[in-house]
Structure 1
Amino acid sequence: MTGCSFGVGQFLAQLIAKSSNRVVATAWNPASLSAITLTADNVLKIGAALTATLGRFDHIDVLVENLGCMLIGDTEAAGDEEARALIDTNLWGVVDM
């Protein structure tokens, strides 16, 4: 699960961590995952997700791509760099996951 540092991602990761299901919580800053409580061996908090997940759990059943960003203000006033960063995160981030 991506985007677990706060908000919906953090809440969902905490909820899953309290169940018997496994969760791999990721964030740009792994230190921000401290609010997610570890229970037994069902939680893995990491920055480099895929290799560590497959090494520990062997497979992925469900992938929650929760990461996203937005532009504040007039869309047509956004520069190329801002627009590309938005598309890279919101479109290609999902495709890459």
Structure 2
Amino acid sequence: MVGLLLFLAIVAGLNANEPGEPIELPPMPQLNHVPEAGRSYLQRYEIFDVRFCHLTPDPFLCERCLRSDMQFVRLLRFNEEGRPERIYGCRPFLRPYVH
């Protein structure tokens, strides 16, 4: 009985506005940072087990990197239009780690 009353209260709250009445939303934040053309970022995937490579955009390359004792990374480079180009690859680990 309590669940039914709770459900009815939620439905009544959702239908509080008339169908034609606009809902006021907060303004969207303005982004003032546009990536510079030619700038690149290296993003490391913190994956140390081959079983989790299916979570990456390129699971076969990820598996090959980890089996070669390397780290799976993504190079994010911005072209002249500001659009990102994604390049995936392997690189050696920077410091020793424990399997």
TM-score range, shorter chain: under 0.3
Q: Give TM-score, length-normalised by structure 2.
A: 0.20
Structure with greater proportional helix content: 1
Q: Give TM-score, length-normalised by structure 1.
A: 0.21
Structure with greater proportional strand content: 2
